[in-house]
């Protein structure tokens, strides 16, 4: 039954082999090694589908775990090389292999002619492997290894065009920022494992044991709070949460397929994945949950605001990623385990789609800036409609994947709000507000890109098949993936049932009692029912199928419409001037004269939002946070110089040399005792004798 | 009175050799005079044989004034071995330099007669005469480069300081006699122990006696003659002064300190310990600035004396274990010191005789001229510093071992000074090594022709330094058996 | 007879010798001072022997004095020879000129 | 070979290089090529023998001494010629022979001014015996001899073949190390007398421990600490290291970083801890603090460097800080980490010094600013290797550097022997700062890579023909490159071998 | 205060005064003559203490030969006459050192032996001394003979005029390598023919 599961380790292994194979033979192959990567990824993908099928249909009572004792670590503790396959793993497999496969295929054309083409594919495969390793790991240490490798690959790929200093800096920034987060992760892992060692476990890094121990209440609160907060620091850095998101926009320096991979599947999702993996531990502490939720909320809102003022398409997408990751984090923070990873799942597809689409556009106009585009809908029809699908999904337009998953997040917040949890309210309301922002900036981007005149200096034309095909596949998935957990999904076969183990189920909505009735009701969820599957499931657990929340649907639609309309007002006719702000000024006057509502909206919504909040956010991002980062860097460097020049070379080494110098100095003085006058020698001798005589008398 | 002739056989053999040398010198002319050196060498070998026969014996003769035990035998072998080495490094030096060869060898042998009596002497009078027998020929030998102002100056300084310290020592001895009514070492100890109350004058007398030996071992502040005299004397004589004469001083100091004045150890030990500290520190510090290799070796030998004085600082009345360990440490160090220091002087002679060089800077690139000599010097200097695998390490080891036999605060202080000084010493030893190996040689330096004898001595000592460095048991097995007072 | 008399005389002569050794410039006079020091010790030895230990069988005090006389004479000879040689080399017997070697 | 009876194999392997040094010394200097080949042959044979020893090592009993030799040596002080090998010795011993062999291979083509391969190789072989002996000597006196034996050849290596400031560096290296080791010697003697068992045997003394008063333990440990800490080197005793490393010839640096520094840690683990457990416990927090200061401090100093080789040298201070953090943890995992970190640092930093040496040969400068970047363009293979090793050095998982660092921090969170009860908070702080140190480490390595590897080569090099990695370099580097990867993927290669031995050791410590 | 003490005091005053004059005299020959007086005075104290044999030896060896030897020495070296010439710059130092030594030693001696008196003064007979020399002290005695022989030969060696063997190396080329003085600045003022620095000697002569 579990045949494929036994071979789950092949999923990460194949890309690893392909890395080595590409590095070794890639150059001599007709496809310069890309075919190896594609084949390996395809195989992995197929295997992932199989594994997902088996996992989802089998309804495993326990996650599937296999491990080898890889090495002793001293003191009887061992490091396991092991795999843990459950719904979460299978879901991530699907996401990562799919996106990666698409990126591989897409890159064949996109990267054509690059001098480091082979190297690029090798690194892509390695990147995929690293993420898959993190996903399959059955223990924190192995996960850490995957995690760090992800960081390395991102460094190598972001700095792919290393001839330019700014690209080098971007790579370094990404690596160092995430590495800084890793301080927390590493120490957090160590803290948790210390707790496990205290419980007498010989495999202190094991995830299953850790989660079980946490649920059983064996781990002390201190350990959990300290450990999880530290680990969350790692997630903050890796998943681009405020304030450690600064590396993410810079990471656009890498080739666009890499951005797709980073933003959709292999890097920024790592933090969310790890939080989900450790959800039973997270859920033990309200403090940890609260911190996670607040950070998520801040990120999802202010991250989104930042996207408003970008001209660089990739940066718009990057900030949107920040914002969307904020949703996922916030969902975890309010116990929305399923909501979070479902959003992760769907977001992966549509964000990959958007990036690849952006890549297609950039490829065509040789510029990242939306102000250089315009009117692309006609010249690039496939890109156009796939991009629109992605945009709709991102904006949460009903019936797209983004709609279902984002609503899950909001509902989760609402459910908790009903329990009187402040963060629940925050997630819900700020989430809604951010949805407006998201829609607005995506609409702005779409209008500027596809509407109006072509402002580029090139004659754009549609990309080749190898680039368009992945777009189409992803476009389909951007819609279809949402139906895994929607009112249309079946009770038994839905995303939640597949990914949430019984333990997690209980932790997700602990306030739902055995009778299936929510003890309290959220603002909007009051009418919704949570279906108990205790009687039909074999394991006596809770399963739910989302119901239509028509009230929420209505709000979402209103928001969507308002945002798009607003955007259309300003950008619907393209961008006649290079400076959008100036153009906005003209548009504002027109709007003010015709619709008082517009003026209101502009003056009290757009202006404050765009000019004040966004500017503040930009400022805070660029000046305060970047300033802190840069300042920290400069301070470190100053500290380094001081340490080396003053402390090391002067004080410590100076002390050593000073001892030598003073010896020489004394020597020079002392040697003059040897005056050469024998009578002085005699006098000294006799004087010495007298001193001795007196001294010994004194001794007595 | 029956005389144990075997007990004094080495002394007799050496005396006879000395007289033979004198006689031969009278009858040889010109180049043939060189032959006195082998005669002296043969006589030394005979003396060595006699001494070796005595190994394991416990003999006392001349009414207990003259004692032969393992301690004495080890010391005598040390002296005779040093004599052989010095004969080896002297031969060409004196033959080529048109010195009074016969007289030189006679004086040398006479001096060594005094030395080998030293460790056996158990009477102040005998010790005094033996010490003078060591010194007076040495005064003359130091001045043997008659036309050299340096040599005359060396002799004068050596002589005046020597006589002054002997006078101080004699004054002390007279007072000791006044306290105890005897000059027998054991008798003195018994009398002091019986007296109970310790008069300050007696302690003063002890210090005065120490001065005489302090001069011989060139302890601070009695060391002033040493650098000047070493620098001015013929180099083999400097080697002899630095090693053999110093060892003789230690032999005497050991005898009076650990036999005669052993009951007073609690008083003199701290004083000698402080002298040890002063000696090694001052010697090392001044050596840092020396540019003349011989003076550098001279100050180094001052410092080495300081190390050897450390065990004296550890002595305690009645503590046999500690005192034995101290004596053994000194003995071990002396042997090691003899091996490495004579070797260093041997190389210096080889270089100096051929090139007239003694400035440190001119040793540059010696390694290219004569790898053997450079290697030898390196080994000897590293050994003097105490780097493994040389015997010098074990010498320091022995001292530390003695100090830790029964740890006192003072012993710890001494150890700290030993450590710090060992490191300082490496500054100047390494300077020489570096100059020889790493600096560029001067243009037009003639090749060294050390000659067979000298090369042999250097090789033997070099091998000895390393072999003993690997197997220090060859010495320590012997020294650990020795107990100064076994038959005293 | 009081013991302290001879002892003090010996000490006085000894210290006078020390003074001469350090203060005198002429090497021969320095040598004379040294001799005085050596000889003064004999007074001590004789005083101890004859006043404190007259019955000592080995007569070590007087014997020591005898040996000191002999050795001192020998040293005087050697010292004079050294000084003569020095004089021959530099036509001066001033001790304070003898400082070629220092430091 | 039967590990129980084949003590001769160890003795032969140990002294073969010394004999070889003698053999080289008598070869005429004019036979330049033959001399270099002979050195390769000698080290090769020795390495083969060590491989054979490793192969026949009984890994099931890695906690016990194998290949033992125990004969009287200096009877007067009861010192014995006691050799042996257990799981702790084996990896270090193996590494010594491997590195020396590779160095000999490397020297067949590369030898800095003033040439003279005979002297150089003879010294290197002497050095080999000294280093290797340290790891298999089980008698304190013998250990000390081997320990000190290393100084002299290294002094000459730096002093004769070193960089412009070689005089200063060589003397500093020598005196610094000597200073510590004499204190160590005094402490050894104190141990000998305090134990009162008339034995210098490390095993016997470990079994007897603890002995002596608390004061004795403190002072004796202090003495030993000075000796080992200088060698490691721990902050603030490290200042000899940058100078020595920077000025030493490539091979000298490789051996310094690869093996010499390891002697310090090994000494701590083999001698200081088991024989003086109470002193060790008392000193552990201090060691931990100094170690972490070293980590941060070394990294900061690296950030300030302009010279590639000096940067690598300072990185050793930080890396050895992690090693000592492991020691300070005083538990099995910590010691495992320390020993693993040892090996890993030896391989990685040894390799880095090889690279720095070759860099200097190509560019004739080690100034980062002068090299000016673009190495990946100019000599791509070389640039890739530099990236690979630098990444390994910054502790990336999957490569050798990770295991030592992570395990050390992991072990330090719960220090053993009751230290945790008193200093738990301190150790948590240490772990946090050590983790911050990893970021700094990453920082300076990335910065190095950025300035050396990336970008376009400056004009002055653009037209200069620079060789990419040469054949002899591939030959001498490949084993290390593979080892870096192998140790990263199969940490069991070292952890597994050491496990029983470390457990044994902790038994002596009472943990 | 017995008769012995009175006599001793007189002799001691004479001896001490002569000694003082010896070291302060401005005239070389006077100094030598005062030394003779001092030595004779010491012989006198020996007589007072009943050490007849020793007094005799003292007179013969010292007054008879050593003092004469010194006179010869003074004449041979033709030393200049006058205080400035005779005393060096170290007089103050000498006074301090010797004065301190005297104060320290005499204080200690008085405190220790201050009350010690001998009822009668009696020394061993000459016969006892003679027997003792050849019974108890024969080894130092024989050694002393060796010493005297060495001193004799050495003194001759140093004092004799040169006639061939001189400890002087053959004059050959001289290597001046270092620009720094070997020991001290006076080195270059050496008379020609000095053997320092040593010259390169041929392998054979």
Share of chain D above pLDDT 70, in %: 100
Q: pLDDT tens, D67-126? A: 999 998 887 778 889 999 988 999 999 999 999 999 999 988 888 877 788 888 999 999
Which three-class secondary structure state does DSSP give residue B387? coil
Residue A300 and residue A264 share a domain: no
Let me know if residue A608 belongs to a domain: no
Distance from CA of A693 to the nearest CA of B (A): 5
- Is the predicted pLDDT of residue A513 greater than 70, yes or no? no
pLDDT attached to residue E191: 39
Does some domain include residue E166? no
pLDDT at position E163 is 55
Task: Identify the pLDDT of residue A514.
Answer: 40
**pLDDT band with cut points at 50, 70 and 90 for residue A540:** very low
Nearest CA in chain A to E87: A679
What distance, in Å, lies between the first and last C-alpha atoms of chain C? 51
User: D7 is written with which tokens?
Assistant: 């003590």
The DSSP symbol for E198 reads P
How many of the other CB atoms lie within 10 Å of CB of A29? 14
Q: Which residue, of E89, E109, E142, is where some domain finishes? A: E89
**Kind plus residue range of the DSSP H or E element containing D82:** strand D79-85
Of D148, D167, D175, the CB nearest to B423: D175
**What integer pLDDT is reported at residue A629 of this predicted model?**
59
Query: Mean pLDDT over residues A416-444, rounded?
Result: 78
B196: its two tokens: 């109970």
Q: Pick A544 or D238 by higher pLDDT.
A: D238
What's residue E205's pLDDT?
Answer: 33
The Cα A450–Cα A310 span in angstroms is: 17
Q: Which of B451-455, D101-105, D484-488 has the lowest mean pLDDT?
A: B451-455
Does a cis peptide bond (omega within 30 degrees of 0) precede residue A243?
A: yes
Domain residue ranges of chain C, discontinuous segments joined by +: 4-97
B20 touches chain A (CB under 8 A): no
Q: How confident is the model at residue A522 (pLDDT cuts 50, 70, 90)?
A: very low
Q: Which of residues 126-145 of E touch A (CB under 8 A)?
A: none
Contact A678 B215 (CB under 8 A): no
The mean per-residue pLDDT over the stretch B296-316 comes to 93
CA C101 to chain centre: 26
Burial class (CB in 10 A: 0-12, 13-18, 19+), D219: buried
- As a whole number of angstroms, the distance between CA D232 and CA D250 comes to 20
Residue at A77 is within a domain: yes
CB E132 within 8 A of CB C61: no
Please report the pLDDT score of residue A650 as a whole number. Answer: 74
Does residue A570 share a domain with residue A453? yes
Confidence band of E178 (pLDDT split at 50, 70, 90): very low
Judged by CB atoms closer than 8 Å, whether chains meet at C23 and A674 is answered as: no
Minimal CA separation from B123 to chain A, in Å = 23
Res B213 pLDDT > 70: yes
Buried b (16+ CB within 10 A) or exposed e, E91-110: bebbeebbebbbebbbebbe
- Cα separation, D45 vs D39, in Å, equals 10
Give the residue on A whose Cα is nearest the Cα of E93.
A683
Is the CB of residue B192 less than 8 Å away from at least one CB of chain E? no
Interface of B with E in 212-251 (CB under 8 A): 231, 234
In this predicted structure, the answer to whether residue A611 has a pLDDT above a threshold of 70 is no
Q: Could you write out the three-class secondary structure of D339-364?
A: HHHHHHHHHHHHHHHHHHHHHHHHHC
B210 burial class (0-12, 13-18, 19+ CB within 10 angstroms)?
Answer: buried
Least Cα separation, residue C100 to chain A (angstroms): 7
Q: Could you tell me if residue E139 is inside a domain?
A: yes
Residue E43 in domain:
yes
- Nearest-angstrom CA–CA distance, A633 and B231: 62
The answer to whether residue A3 sits within a structural domain is yes
| Residue B85 neighbours by CB under 8 Å, 6+ apart | B338, B342, B346, B457, B460, B461
The domain locations on chain D are 7-509
Looking at beta carbons, which residues of chain B come within 8 Å of A695? 207, 271, 274
pLDDT digits (tens, 9 = 90+) for E24-63: 888 888 888 899 999 999 999 999 888 888 999 988 888 8
pLDDT at residue A485 is higher than 90: no
Q: What is the DSSP letter of A482?
A: G
Q: Is residue E30 part of a domain?
A: yes
For residue A658, give how far its alpha carbon lies from the nearest alpha carbon of chain E (Å): 26
Residue pairs between chains C and E whose CB atoms are closer than 8 Å: 277
Do D305 and D440 contact (CB within 8 A), yes or no? no
Q: What is the pLDDT of residue A32?
A: 79
What value, to the nearest 5°, has the Cα angle with vertex A633 and ends A630 and A635? Answer: 110
Pick among C14, C16, C17 to test the E interface (most E CBs inside 10 A): C16
Judging contacts by C-beta atoms under 8 Å, the chain C residues touching residue A683 are 22
The three-class DSSP label of residue D80 is strand
**What's residue B171's pLDDT?**
94
B149 chain-C contacts, CB cut-off 8 A: 89-90, 100
* In contact, A72 and D407? CB cutoff 8 Å: no
Give me the residue from E88, E97, E108 closest to A687, CB to CB. E97
Sequence length of chain A is 700
- Cβ distance of E97 and A683 shorter than 8 Å: yes
Q: In A334-371, which residue ranges form alpha helices assigned H by DSSP? A: 337-365
* E101, part of any domain: no
Q: Does C53 touch chain B (CB under 8 A)?
A: yes
Q: Are C83 and E158 in contact (CB under 8 A)?
A: no
E153–B97 C-beta distance less than 8 A: no
Q: What is the C-alpha R_g of chain B?
A: 21
Q: Which of B62-66, B200-204, C98-102, D432-436 is the least confident region?
A: C98-102
Among B268, B125, B121, B287, CA closest to B206: B268
Q: Which residue has the tokens 């040889």?
A: B28
Per 3-state DSSP, what percentage of chain C is helix, strand, and coil (rounded to 5)?
Answer: 80, 5, 20
The whole-number pLDDT of residue A151 equals 86
DSSP class per residue in D209-244? -S-S-HHHHHHHHHHHHHHHHHHTTPTTS-THHHHH
The pLDDT of A98-109, averaged and rounded, is 85
CB D89 within 8 A of CB D136: yes
Q: What is the pLDDT of residue A623?
A: 60
The token pair that represents B216 in the structure block:
């011989």
Whether D contacts C, i.e. 3 or more CB pairs less than 8 A apart, is no
C28 vs B: CB within 8 A? no
Q: Which of residues 81-140 of E touch B (CB under 8 A)?
A: 104-105, 108-109, 111-113, 135-140
The alpha-helical segments, DSSP class H, found in E58-137 are: 67-77, 83-86, 91-113, 126-135
Touching subunits for chain D (3+ Cβ pairs under 8 A) = A, B
CA atoms within 13 A on the CB side of B40: 33
pLDDT for the residue numbered B312: 93
Q: Which of A209-213, A420-424, B46-50, C99-103 has the highest mean pLDDT?
A: B46-50
So what's the pLDDT on residue B368? 81
What is the distance in angstroms between the Cα of C57 and the nearest Cα belonging to chain A?
Answer: 32
Contact assignment for C22 to A682 by CB distance below 8 Å: yes
The pLDDT assigned to D511 comes to 55
Query: Could you tell me what percent of chain A has a pLDDT over 70?
Result: 82
Same domain, yes or no, for A370 and A258? no
Mean pLDDT, chain B, integer: 88
Whole-number average pLDDT of chain A: 76
Sign of CA dihedral B454, B460, B466, B468: negative
Residue B471 has pLDDT above 60, yes or no: yes
The answer to whether residues B112 and B130 touch, using CB atoms and an 8 Å cutoff, is no
**Ramachandran category for residue B196: left, alpha or beta (phi over 0 → left; psi -120 to 50 → alpha):** left
Query: Which stretch of A205-219, B269-283, B411-425, E127-141 has the lowest confidence by average pLDDT?
Result: A205-219
Contact criterion met (CB < 8 Å) for E97 and A679 = no
A411 has pLDDT over 80: no
pLDDT reported for residue A523: 30
Q: What is the structure's pLDDT at A419?
A: 67
Q: What is the pLDDT of residue A572?
A: 67
Q: d(Cα E153, Cα B114) in Å, to the nearest integer?
A: 16
* pLDDT at residue A603, as a whole number: 53
Per the structure, the count of domains in chain E is 2
b/e code A341-361 from CB counts within 10 Å (16+ = b): bbbbbbbbbbbbbbbbbbbbb
Task: Sort strands D79-85 and D66-74 into parallel, antiparallel or unpaired.
Answer: antiparallel
The mean pLDDT value for A307-312 works out to 73
| pLDDT (mean) for D336-351 | 92
Boundaries of domain holding E81: 3-89
How high is the pLDDT of residue C71? 93
Q: Are A427 and A385 in contact (CB under 8 A)?
A: no
- Domain span at residue A466? 294-323+336-574
Contact (CB, 8 A) for A475 and A390: yes
Q: Band of the pLDDT at A515, cuts 50, 70, 90?
A: very low
Span A503-518, average pLDDT:
55
Pairwise CB contact (< 8 Å): E110 & C8: yes
Angle subtended at Cα D235 by Cα D230 and Cα D237, rounded to the nearest 5 degrees: 35
What is the reported pLDDT for E181?
39
Among A672, A679, A686, select the one facing C103 at the smallest CB separation: A672
CATH 1.10.287.3510 fits C4-97, yes or no: yes
Whether A334 and A418 have beta carbons less than 8 Å apart is answered as no
C41 Cβ under 8 Å from any chain E Cβ: no
Q: Which residue has the higher pLDDT, A528 or A570?
A: A570
Structure tokens at A666: 């004394």
Structure confidence at residue A390 (pLDDT):
86
- Pairwise CA distance, residues A216 & A284, whole Å: 10
Residue-wise pLDDT tens digits, B378-391: 999 999 988 877 88
- Write down the domain spans for chain B: 9-487
Q: What is the pLDDT of residue A645?
A: 74
pLDDT digits (tens, 9 = 90+) for B309-321: 999 999 988 888 8
Nearest Cα of chain E lies from the Cα of B352 at a distance, in angstroms, of: 7
Strand partners, A85: A64
């Amino acid at each position: 039954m579990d045949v494929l599961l036994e071979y789950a380790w092949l999923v990460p292994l194949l890309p690893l082999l392909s890395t080595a194979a590409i590095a070794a033979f890639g150059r001599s192959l007709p496809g310069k090694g890309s075919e190896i990567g594609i084949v390996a990824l395809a195989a992995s993908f197929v295997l992932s589908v199989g594994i997902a099928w088996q996992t989802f249909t089998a309804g495993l009572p326990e996650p599937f775990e296999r491990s080898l004792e890889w090495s002793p670590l001293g003191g009887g503790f061992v490091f396991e090389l092991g795999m843990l396959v459950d719904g979460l793993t299978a879901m991530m497999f699907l996401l990562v292999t799919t996106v990666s496969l698409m990126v591989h295929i897409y890159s064949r054309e996109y990267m054509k002619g690059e001098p480091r083409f082979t190297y690029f594919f090798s690194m892509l495969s390695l990147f995929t492997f690293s993420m898959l390793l993190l996903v399959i790991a059955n223990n924190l240490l192995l996960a850490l290894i995957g995690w760090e490798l992800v960081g390395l690959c991102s460094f190598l790929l972001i700095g792919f065009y290393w001839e330019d200093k700014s690209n080098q800096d971007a790579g370094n920034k990404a690596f160092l920022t995430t590495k800084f987060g890793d301080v927390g992760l590493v120490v957090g892992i160590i803290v948790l494992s210390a707790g496990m060692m205290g419980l007498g476990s010989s495999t202190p890094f094991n995830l299953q044991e850790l989660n079980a121990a946490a649920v059983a209440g064996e781990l002390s609160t201190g350990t959990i709070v300290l450990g999880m907060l530290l680990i969350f620091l790692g997630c903050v850095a890796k998943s681009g949460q405020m304030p450690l998101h600064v590396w993410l926009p810079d990471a656009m320096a890498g080739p666009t397929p890499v951005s797709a991979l980073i933003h959709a599947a292999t890097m920024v999702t790592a933090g969310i994945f790890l939080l989900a993996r450790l959800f039973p531990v997270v859920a033990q502490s309200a403090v940890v949950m609260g911190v996670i939720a607040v950070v998520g909320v801040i990120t999802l809102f202010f991250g989104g605001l930042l996207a408003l003022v970008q001209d660089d398409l990739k940066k718009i997408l990057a900030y949107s990623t920040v914002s969307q990751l904020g949703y996922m984090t916030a969902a975890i923070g309010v116990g929305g385990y399923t909501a979070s990873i479902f959003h992760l799942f769907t977001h992966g597809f549509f964000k990959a789609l958007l990036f690849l689409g952006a890549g297609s556009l950039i490829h065509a106009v040789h510029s990242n800036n939306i102000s250089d585009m315009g009117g692309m809908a006609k010249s690039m029809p496939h890109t156009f409609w796939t991009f629109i699908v992605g945009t709709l999904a991102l904006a949460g337009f009903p019936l797209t994947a983004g709609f279902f998953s984002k609503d899950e997040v909001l509902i989760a917040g609402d459910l908790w709000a009903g329990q009187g949890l402040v963060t629940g309210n925050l997630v819900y309301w700020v989430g809604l507000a951010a949805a407006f922002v998201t829609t607005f900036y995506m609409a702005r981007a779409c209008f500027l890109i596809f509407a109006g005149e072509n402002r580029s200096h090139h004659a754009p034309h549609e990309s080749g098949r190898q680039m368009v095909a992945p777009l189409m596949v992803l476009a389909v998935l951007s819609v279809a993936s949402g139906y895994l957990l929607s009112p249309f999904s079946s009770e038994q076969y839905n995303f939640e049932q597949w990914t949430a183990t019984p333990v997690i189920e209980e932790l997700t909505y602990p306030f739902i009692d055995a009778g299936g009735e929510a003890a309290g009701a959220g603002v909007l969820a009051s009418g919704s029912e949570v279906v108990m599957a205790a009687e039909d499931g074999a394991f006596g657990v809770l399963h739910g199928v989302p119901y239509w929340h028509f009230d929420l649907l209505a709000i979402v639609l209103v928001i969507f419409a308002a945002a798009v309309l607003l955007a259309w007002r300003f950008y619907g006719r393209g961008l006649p001037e290079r400076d959008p702000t100036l153009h906005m000024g003209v548009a504002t006057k027109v709007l003010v004269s015709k619709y008082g509502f517009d003026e209101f909206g502009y003056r009290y919504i757009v202006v404050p939002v765009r000019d004040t909040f966004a500017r503040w956010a930009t400022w805070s991002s660029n000046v305060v946070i970047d300033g802190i980062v840069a300042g920290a860097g400069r301070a470190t460097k100053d500290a380094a110089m001081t340490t080396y020049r003053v402390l090391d070379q002067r004080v410590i080494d100076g002390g050593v040399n000073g001892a030598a110098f003073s010896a020489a100095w004394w020597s020079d003085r002392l040697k003059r005792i040897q005056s050469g006058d024998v009578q002085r020698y005699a006098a000294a001798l006799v004087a010495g004798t007298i001193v001795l005589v007196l001294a010994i008398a004194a001794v007595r | 009175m029956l005389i144990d002739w075997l007990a004094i056989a080495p002394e007799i053999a050496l005396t006879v050799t000395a007289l033979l040398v004198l006689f031969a010198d009278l009858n040889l002319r010109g180049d043939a005079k060189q032959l006195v050196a082998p005669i002296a060498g043969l006589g030394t070998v005979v003396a060595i044989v006699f001494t070796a026969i005595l190994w394991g014996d416990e003999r006392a003769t001349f009414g207990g004034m003259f004692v032969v035990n393992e301690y004495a035998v080890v010391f005598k072998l040390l002296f005779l071995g040093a004599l052989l080495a010095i004969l080896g490094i002297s031969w060409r030096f004196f033959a080529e330099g048109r010195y009074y060869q016969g007289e030189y060898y006679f004086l040398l042998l006479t001096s060594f007669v005094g030395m080998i009596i030293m460790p056996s002497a158990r009477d102040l009078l005998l010790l005094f005469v033996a010490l003078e027998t060591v010194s007076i020929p040495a005064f003359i030998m130091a001045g043997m480069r008659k036309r050299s102002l340096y040599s005359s100056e060396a002799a004068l300084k050596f002589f005046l300081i020597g006589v002054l310290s002997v006078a101080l020592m004699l004054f002390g001895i007279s007072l000791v006699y006044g306290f105890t009514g005897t000059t027998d070492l054991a008798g003195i100890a018994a009398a002091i122990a019986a007296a109970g109350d310790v008069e300050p004058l007696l302690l003063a007398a002890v210090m005065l006696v120490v001065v005489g030996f302090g001069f011989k071992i060139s302890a601070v502040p009695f060391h002033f003659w040493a650098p000047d005299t070493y620098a001015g004397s013929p180099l083999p004589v400097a080697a002899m002064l630095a090693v053999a004469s110093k060892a003789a001083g230690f032999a005497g100091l050991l005898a009076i300190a650990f036999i005669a004045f052993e009951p007073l150890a609690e008083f003199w030990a701290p004083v000698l310990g402080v002298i040890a500290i002063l000696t090694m520190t001052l010697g090392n510090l001044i050596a840092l600035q020396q540019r003349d290799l011989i003076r550098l070796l001279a100050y180094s030998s001052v410092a080495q004396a300081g190390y050897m004085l450390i065990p004296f600082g550890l002595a305690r009345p009645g503590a046999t274990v500690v005192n034995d360990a101290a004596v053994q440490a000194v003995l071990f160090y002396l042997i090691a010191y003899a091996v490495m220091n004579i070797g260093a002087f041997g190389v210096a002679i080889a270089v100096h005789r051929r090139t007239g060089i003694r400035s440190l800077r001119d040793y540059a690139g010696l390694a290219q001229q004569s790898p053997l000599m450079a290697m030898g010097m390196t080994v000897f200097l590293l050994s003097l510093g105490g780097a493994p695998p040389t015997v010098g390490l074990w010498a320091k080891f022995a001292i530390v071992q003695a100090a830790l036999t029964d740890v006192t605060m003072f012993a710890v202080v001494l150890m700290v000074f030993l450590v710090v000084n060992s490191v300082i010493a490496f500054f100047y030893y390494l300077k020489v090594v570096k100059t020889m190996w790493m600096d560029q040689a001067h243009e037009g330096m003639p090749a060294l022709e050390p000659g067979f004898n000298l090369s042999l001595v250097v090789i033997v000592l070099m091998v000895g330094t390393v072999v003993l460095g690997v197997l220090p048991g060859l010495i320590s097995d012997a020294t650990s058996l020795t107990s100064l007072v076994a038959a005293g | 007879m009081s013991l302290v008399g001879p002892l003090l005389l010996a000490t006085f002569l000894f210290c006078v010798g020390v003074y001469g050794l350090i203060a005198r410039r002429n090497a021969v006079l320095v040598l004379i001072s040294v001799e005085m020091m050596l000889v003064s010790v004999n007074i001590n030895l004789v005083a101890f022997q004859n006043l404190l230990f007259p019955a000592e069988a080995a007569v070590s005090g007087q014997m020591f004095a005898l040996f000191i006389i002999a050795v001192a004479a020998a040293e005087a000879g050697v010292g004079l020879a050294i000084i003569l040689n020095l004089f021959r080399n530099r036509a001066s017997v001033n001790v304070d000129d003898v400082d070629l070697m220092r430091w | 070979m039967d590990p129980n009876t084949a003590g001769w194999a160890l003795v032969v392997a140990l002294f073969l290089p010394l004999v070889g040094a003698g053999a080289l010394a008598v070869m005429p200097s004019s036979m330049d090529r033959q001399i270099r080949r002979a050195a390769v042959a000698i080290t090769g044979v020795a390495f083969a023998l060590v491989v054979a020893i490793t192969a026949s090592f009984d890994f099931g009993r890695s906690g016990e001494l194998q290949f033992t030799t125990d004969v009287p040596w200096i009877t007067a002080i009861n010192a014995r010629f006691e050799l042996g090998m257990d799981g702790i010795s084996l990896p270090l011993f193996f590494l010594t022979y491997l590195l020396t062999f590779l160095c000999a291979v490397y020297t067949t083509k590369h030898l800095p001014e003033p040439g003279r391969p005979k002297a150089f190789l003879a010294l290197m072989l002497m050095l080999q015996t000294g280093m290797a002996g340290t790891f298999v000597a089980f008698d304190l006196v013998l250990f000390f001899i081997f320990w000190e034996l290393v100084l002299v050849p290294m002094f000459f290596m730096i002093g004769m073949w070193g960089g412009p400031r070689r005089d200063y560096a060589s003397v500093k290296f020598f005196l610094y190390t000597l200073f510590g080791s004499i204190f160590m010697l005094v402490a050894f003697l104190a141990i000998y007398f305090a134990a009162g068992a008339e034995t210098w045997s490390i095993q016997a003394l470990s079994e007897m421990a603890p002995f002596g008063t608390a004061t004795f333990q403190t002072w004796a440990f202090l003495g030993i600490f000075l000796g080992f800490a200088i060698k490691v080197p721990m902050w603030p005793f490290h200042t000899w290291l940058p100078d020595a490393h920077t000025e030493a010839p490539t091979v000298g640096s490789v051996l310094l970083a690869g093996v010499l520094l390891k002697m310090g840690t090994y000494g701590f683990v083999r001698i200081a801890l088991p024989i003086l457990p109470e002193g060790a416990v008392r000193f552990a927090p201090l060691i931990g603090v100094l170690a972490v200061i070293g980590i941060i401090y070394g990294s900061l100093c690296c950030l300030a460097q302009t010279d590639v080789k000096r940067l690598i040298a300072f990185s050793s201070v930080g890396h050895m800080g992690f090693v000592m953090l492991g020691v300070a943890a005083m538990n099995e995992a910590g010691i495992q980490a320390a020993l693993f970190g040892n090996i890993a640092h030896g391989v990685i930093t040894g390799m880095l010094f090889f690279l720095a040496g070759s860099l200097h040969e190509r560019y004739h400068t080690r100034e980062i600013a002068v090299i000016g970047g673009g190495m990946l363009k100019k000599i791509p293979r070389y640039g890739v290797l530099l990236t690979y090793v630098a990444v390994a050095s910054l502790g990336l998982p999957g490569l050798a550097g990770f295991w030592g660092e992570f395990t050390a921090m992991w072990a330090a969170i719960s220090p053993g022997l009751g230290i945790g009860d008193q200093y738990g908070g301190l150790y948590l702080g240490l772990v946090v700062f050590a983790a911050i140190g990893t970021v700094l480490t990453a920082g300076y390595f990335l910065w190095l890579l950025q300035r050396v590897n990336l970008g376009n080569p400056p004009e002055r090099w653009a037209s200069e023909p620079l060789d990419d990695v040469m054949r002899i370099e591939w030959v001498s580097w490949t084993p290390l490159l593979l080892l870096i990867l192998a140790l990263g993927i199969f940490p069991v290669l070292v952890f597994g071998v050491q496990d029983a031995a470390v457990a044994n050791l902790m038994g002596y410590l009472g943990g | 205060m017995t008769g012995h003490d009175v006599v001793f005091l007189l002799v001691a005053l004479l001896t001490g005064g002569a000694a003082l004059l010896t070291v302060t005299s401005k005239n070389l020959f006077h100094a030598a003559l005062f030394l003779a007086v001092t030595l004779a005075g010491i012989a006198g104290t020996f007589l007072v203490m009943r050490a007849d044999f020793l007094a005799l030896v003292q007179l013969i060896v010292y007054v008879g030969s050593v003092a004469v030897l010194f006179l010869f020495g003074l004449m041979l070296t033709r030393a200049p006459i006058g205080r400035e010439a005779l005393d060096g710059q170290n007089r103050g130092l000498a006074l301090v050192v010797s004065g301190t030594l005297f104060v320290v030693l005499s204080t200690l001696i008085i405190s220790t032996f201050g009350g010690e008196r001998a009822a009668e003064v009696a020394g061993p007979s000459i016969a006892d001394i003679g027997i003792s020399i050849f019974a108890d002290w024969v080894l130092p005695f024989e050694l002393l003979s060796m010493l005297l022989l060495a001193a004799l030969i050495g003194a001759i060696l140093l004092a004799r005029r040169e006639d061939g063997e001189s400890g002087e190396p053959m004059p050959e080329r001289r290597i001046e390598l270092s620009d720094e003085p070997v020991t001290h600045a006076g080195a270059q003022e050496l008379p020609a023919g000095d053997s320092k620095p040593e010259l390169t000697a041929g392998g054979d002569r």
